[in-house]
Structure 1
Amino acid sequence: MVFIDLTSYRCPLPLVKVKLALKQLAVGEQLQVVLSDPGSRMDVPRFLKKQGHGLQELYNDANRLTLRITKSA
């Protein structure tokens, strides 16, 4: 599993970094990301669902969102 801490980045950079990381993974591999930017916390999960990737929310509070993403075909 690949882990990326994106808490220091602002929208749209976290989404771009997630897209780039997913390109490097094989189908079925997992990526864990941590987001803090409010825009990214909405945009990244929306993008992942739209693309059909598996998505599990591991942690969500007022400051941070942690997601585990399973790459789909």
Structure 2
Amino acid sequence: MGLINLTLLVREDWRDRYPVVLERCRQAGLNVERELTTVGAIAGNIEEDRLSALKDIEGVSAIEPERLSRGLE
């Protein structure tokens, strides 16, 4: 399995506990690349087979996989 790049959104009512959510994501296997605390987002990558562990973290509202854009051909 390969790595999936993604952005994870922290629930608005959990923004004050952003560091807790961030640490739980790391423990689940997320390699954090960017911490966007002001908007409540975390960007990084994770092994595809570990993706489901992120969905179970309290305080996570959404997980958005990176979509590859293709140029005009």
Is TM-score (shorter-chain normalized) higher than 0.5? no
* TM-score normalised per structure 2: 0.43
- Flag the structure with larger Rg: 2
State the TM-score, normalizing by the size of structure 1.
Answer: 0.43
